[in-house]
Structure 1
Amino acid sequence: MQRKVKYWLIAILFITLATRLILAFTTPNFTYESYFHLKQVEEITATGLPLYEDPLSYGGRELIFLPGFHYFMAFFDIFLPLELAAKIIPNILLSLLVIIIFLISKKITNNNTAALLSAFITGFLPILFQTSSFTPESLFLPLVFLTIYAFIRIKEKKYLTIYIISFLALSLISSATILLLIGFGIYTLLSLLEGKKTSKSENELIIFSLFFFVWIQFLFYKNTFLTEGVSFIWQNVPKQIIQLYFPTLPVLQAIVLVSVIPFLAGIYVVYQSLFELKGQKAFLLISFAISTTLLTWFRLIQFRLSLAFFGLILAILFASFYKDLLAYLQKIRVTKINKYILPTMIIVFLLTMIFPAISTSLKQNTPTDEQIIAFQWLEENTIEKYGVVALLEEGHLITYYGKRKNLMDDQFHLIKNTEKRFQNLNSLFVTKFETQALGILEEYNIKYIILTPKAKAKYDIKKLGYYSGKCFDKIYDQETRIYLVECILGEI
């Protein structure tokens, strides 16, 4: 790699990381789902094992999840305060995508400038700017593209080793690794249809990957599949909210999140590759784009993850578009405008990516400091044996900060009647009937209700419709309110 190119790549990396860290620490807390993962990392640090038998979630239940990410982060928890590590390490990992995407783009195009543009797109891809999110996706995405890069260079022995190690790690981090396997399958099929033979080493590696992935998933999820049946595929998410977990964003909003220029360039490259027969490497990337689209269409992976993966594929394909554009201008002998193309693209990227990226970070769904204080208050001021009810997304705050049992959170696997629970949870915030509320609270052994500003906004209420001084005592009265249940249904 030329020294000048190396300097530019390092500059993009550090600008990306600095921007991410500034935005991460501007938002003091984490996204709601992050608190489940923080709790698991703390448990591994303390005991060496994940918390698979959780006495607080849903009032006590068995948990099923892949622990690779949590063990990885537990290593850093030894040296750094966890909340500091949880801000820094995920942002470093996602910033490293800049280097990985550069290497893939360079391998495909053999053009340094095109690869640097792809790296820049990656660094400021709006969909990746969940800078206060502490989830396995922050490790999954860099690893999955490292695996793709190793697969492209599989004929070199050291990259075979890198592929095997990274794929084994992926299989223990996220079930979304199936993206790779379906992509490999589509790649093999497209190659056969176009008469492009895949190598023996590629076929053997794909078969090995398939069997290893299925084996790992079977080890962790066999009981879940037997218990939930087909619902296992959709993570047992209640039907009332499945649209929230697998949404269909308006096309324009989705394009903004992956950036409009890479999207349009990606369409061009896909057309060129499928109908004008480009190389195998482009076929491979297009296969991953197709696999992502299919899995999203059938709601088999969460939308934000699929959009992030798709956006990174588009960033790589943009390098091919840029190279083809320069070749076309050379062909028609319009070389005078060549010197204006690069600065024009950089300006367009700055205008179409920087603001959406920063906006995405600043609009993250996180609890306020006041809400955190209210949930922390639970631990010292409530009776341990009784449950607490809050919004579904606030369930992890009850268990992480309050150390109390919740009614629901977003870990749905192995939970029976999730639809009924969710309906009852909603009823506790919208019903005007005291007897209905007391019946639900008694059924789940709940004595405390938390009404946060987020809950007030969601249900468009200022207070609980059935609140009365007789059966409910307001024991915490700030922006967030906490109520103590003082009646039993049979005594009214």
Structure 2
Amino acid sequence: MPKLSHRVLVLFAFLFVFGIRVYFAAQHGTFSSDESYYVLRQAEHIKATLTPIYNDPLSYGGKFVSFLPTYHYIIAGLSFFGSNVLKLFSALVGASIVVVAYLIAADITKHKYLAVLGGLFAGLVPAFLKTSLNSLTPKVLTLVLFFVCVYYVIKIEKARGGFSLLLLFSVLLSLVSPIALLLVLVLWVYSGLLKLQKLKLRSKSFEYMLFLTFLTITFNQLALSKLGLEWGILGLISGVPSSLLKQELLGLSWVGIISSINAILLLLGVYGAYIAVQKWSEKREVSLLLSVCIVFVVAVMLRFVDLTQAVSYLGVTFAIMSVYTFGELVAYIKKLKLRLPGGLLTMLILTLIALPVLGFGLYEANSQAEKAIPNYEIRGLLWLANNSEEDVCVLAPLELGHLVTYFAKRRVIADTNFINSKDIEERLRDIALAYTTPYETNAIEIFDKYGVGYIFLSPRVKNRFGIDKPSYVADAKCFEMVYNQTVQIYKVKCTLK
């Protein structure tokens, strides 16, 4: 039987991950993330006016929104072909990390066949599936472009060309996301690690590092020009509220963090890094991958990125470094000189390692697909769009903020666009208090503060706050149930003013 080319195998791996993403996304007509509907809202505005929404009257009661709109323009163009094309695009971009991770692993380890397994594992990192499957988010394209840039940095470090392509993908990354700033930090940390080993950064890499530093700061400063008058480029840091980060950390134990990467993948990656570190002079590339890990751990601590996003980058990095472990394992098996045909023992062991990784990936893919926005929530929000005052604010939890602004087209107290948002912590506390307080006066005081005219109550909201309904809505004089299906909507009729 002829041996399959490693190029054919990586194609199969890509198609497998792409198929998983398409299959689970096709199970539901809606997207799984609240952020997807913010992207759609921006895309629809771009289609209508050719410009994104910068002064958003609905977010936080009205504010200037700072973001890079390149991804939203792409979605606006693709949306002419329908939502199914958008889901295919999301699946295609997400699955492409398989090829990118394979290219990096094959280049740094020289194990082309084993690198296919590393690429497959990268496509099945649970945290990455959680943030990207059945979702429209620039985070997916950002992660892929980030590792494409890492690949070309490795190539120019080995004097193999690719400098022009590196510049091209760096420009694209800088246009899509401020994460390009973290790539700059990765390169500076990488330079420092090389100095510790008494190695020098190649001149082309140094030129690129300076170019990328200037490029990302310039692009982001232009994009955040209004915000930059007050905070400058540092306005991007502290995007994630500290209370949410603490909630993530408290709600996600070490077991949870490890499972978000995949325990097997974590062990393989850490041991792979250990193997590579034993040969610093021959494995400069591992310094670059370790720099990625260092920077994203620090980025979480600085609240530049959320925990799940950071774990996605760590998971892909560990998947790449796991190929070192596979190479060591294969070399050890060969030393045993067992009389098994065609490397049967090697294939058996690698299969046993791969099966749990595949299982965890499929489980996470199914879990994420099941989080698709339920139609009954959409029906309730559409009712609000047709039956409520245009300038009213709707009480809804943070994770439903973009759904309210997209479907109901009404103001919200808070959503996940944290940058340039005032009093985020206070707003989050007020939302929680408004749903859970037993005191009517406390609730009405909050409603007066933000101009809340309607209370949105769905099964997700009830589960989020551990309530059946706010106790104060029993007062029919102040609260009228105006919509009663799976979702309940109450109209606020009283004020303390």
- The TM-score with structure 1 as length reference comes to 0.92
1:305 match: 309
Q: Which residue of 2 aligns with 1:345?
A: 350
Report which stretch shifted further, 414-423 or 138-147.
414-423
Shift of 1:170: 0.9
1:223-244 Cα offsets, whole Å, 9 max, x none, are: 4355469994554544433324
2:11 aligned with 1:4, yes or no?
no
Contact residue 127 and residue 308 of structure 2 kept, 8 A: yes
User: Which residue does the alignment assign to 2:268?
Assistant: 265
User: For the structure 1 residues 444 and 292, does the alpha-carbon distance in structure 2 shift closer, same or farther, using more than 3 Å as the test?
Assistant: closer
Q: Deviations over 1:35-89 (max 9, x none)?
A: 11111122222222111011222222211111121122222123x11x3233221
Q: Following TM superposition, by how much is the alpha carbon of 1:8 offset from its aligned partner in structure 2, in angstroms?
A: 1.7
C-alpha contact (below 8 Å) 1:257/1:356 kept by paired residues? no
* Counterpart residue identity of residue 9, structure 2: W
Aligned equivalents of 1:304, 1:149: Cα separation in 2: 23
Distance 2:127 2:242 in 1: 26
Instruction: Report deviation, 1:426.
Output: 1.9
Question: Separation in 2 of the partners of 1:237 and 1:163?
Answer: 30
> Which of 392, 401, 406 is the matching residue for 1:395?
401
Q: 2: CA distance between counterparts of 1:128 and 1:45?
A: 29
Q: Is the 8 A contact 2:241 2:303 kept in 1?
A: no
Determine the C-alpha separation between the residues in 2 that align with 1:75 and 1:434.
47
1:405 maps to 411
| SS of match in other structure, 1:408 | coil
SS across alignment from 1:300: coil
RMSD, aligned CA: 2.3
Moved more, 358-367 or 101-110: 358-367
Specify the alignment match of 2:51 in structure 1.
Answer: 49
Residue matched to 1:473: 480
After superposition, the Cα gap between the structure-2 partners of 1:160 and 1:238, relative to the gap in structure 1 and judged at 3 Å, is: closer
Amino acid in the other structure paired with 1:412: F
> Do the aligned residues in 2 keep the contact of 1:389 with 1:449 (CA within 8 Å)?
yes
Change (3 A) 1:208 1:98: same
Question: What's 2:291 paired with?
Answer: 287
The 5 A counterparts of 1:36-75 are 36-75=38-77
Distance 1:109 1:269 in 2: 10
Distance 2:447 2:316 in 1: 46
Q: Which runs of 5+ in 1 are unaligned?
A: none
| CA displacement at 1:246 relative to structure 2 | 6.6
Q: Supply the AA of the counterpart residue of 2:141.
A: L
Partner of 1:175: 178
Cα distance change, pair 333–126 in 1 and its aligned pair in 2 (3 A): same
Cα distance in structure 1, aligned partners of 2:152 and 2:23: 32
- Correspondence for 2:245: 242
Give the CA deviation at 1:251.
2.5
Q: Which runs of 5+ in 2 are unaligned?
A: none
Q: 1:246, 1:299 within 8 Å by CA — same for their partners in 2?
A: no
Q: Deviations over 1:354-410 (max 9, x none)?
A: 332222233334431111111111111112122211111111111100111222211
The structural deviation recorded for 1:112 is 2.1
- Higher mean C-alpha deviation, range 257-266 or range 98-107: 257-266
2:224–2:233: 8 Å Cα contact kept in structure 1?
no
Q: Which residue of structure 2 aligns with residue 194 of structure 1?
A: 197
1:321 aligns with one of 309, 320, 325: 325
Aligned residues: 484
**Among 417, 425, 429, which residue is 2:431 paired with?**
425
**Structure 2: how far apart are the matches of 1:106 and 1:29?**
37
**1:77 corresponding residue in structure 2:** 79
SS in 2 for 1:384: coil
Instruction: Give, as a single letter, the amino acid of the residue that structure 2 aligns with 1:344.
Output: I
Question: Shift of residue 190 of structure 1?
Answer: 1.7
SS in 2 for 1:129: helix
Q: Which residue of 2 aligns with 1:100?
A: 100
What do the CA deviations read for 1:428-453 (whole angstroms, capped 9, x no partner)?
A: 21122222222222222221111111
Distance 1:122 1:238 in 2: 29
Task: Please say if residues 268 and 322 of structure 2, whose CA atoms lie closer than 8 Å, have aligned partners that are also in contact.
Answer: yes
Written as runs of structure 1 = structure 2, the 5 A alignment for 1:204-215 is: 204-215=207-218
Residue 392 of structure 1 contacts residue 410 of structure 1 at CA under 8 Å; is this kept in 2? yes
| Percent of aligned pairs with the same amino acid | 27
Residue range with higher mean Cα deviation, 87-96 or 174-183? 174-183
| Aligned residue number for residue 128 of structure 2 | 128
- 1:251 and 2:257 matched: no
The offset of 1:346, in angstroms, is 1.8
Say yes or no: does 1:415 pair with 2:421: yes
CA distance in 1, matches of 2:20, 2:358: 10
How far apart, CA to CA, are the structure 1 residues paired with 2:94 and 2:42? 21
With 173-182 and 242-251 compared, the bigger mean Cα shift is at 242-251
Change (3 A) 1:297 1:334: farther
Partner of 1:484: 491
Partners of 1:450 and 1:482 within 8 A in 2: yes
Counterpart in the other structure of 2:365: 361
Deviation at 1:425, TM superposition (A): 1.8
Contact persistence 1:238–1:422 (CA under 8 A): no
**Partner amino acid, structure 1, of 2:206:** N
User: Does 2:277 align with 1:274?
Assistant: yes
Distance 1:281 1:375 in 2: 51
What is the alpha-carbon distance in structure 1 between the residues aligned to residue 147 and residue 25 of structure 2?
24
Aligned-partner Cα distance in 2 for 1:129–1:349: 17
Q: Distance in 2 between matches of 1:418 and 1:257?
A: 27
Tell me if 1:166 matches 2:173. no
One-letter amino acid of the structure 2 residue matched with residue 46 of structure 1: A
Shift of 1:245: 5.9
Q: Secondary structure at the match of 1:33?
A: helix
Query: Is contact 1:273-1:283 (8 Å) kept?
Result: no
Q: State the one-letter code of the partner of 1:407.
A: I
Cα contact 1:268–1:321 (8 A) shared by 2: yes
Deviations 1:433-474 (A, max 9, x none): 222222222222221111111121122221221111111110
CA distance in 1, matches of 2:109, 2:353: 22
Task: Specify whether residues 247 and 176 from structure 1 end up closer, same or farther in structure 2 by C-alpha distance, changes over 3 A only.
Answer: farther
Q: Supply the AA of the counterpart residue of 2:361.
A: A
Change (3 A) 1:116 1:239: closer
1:19 corresponds to: 20
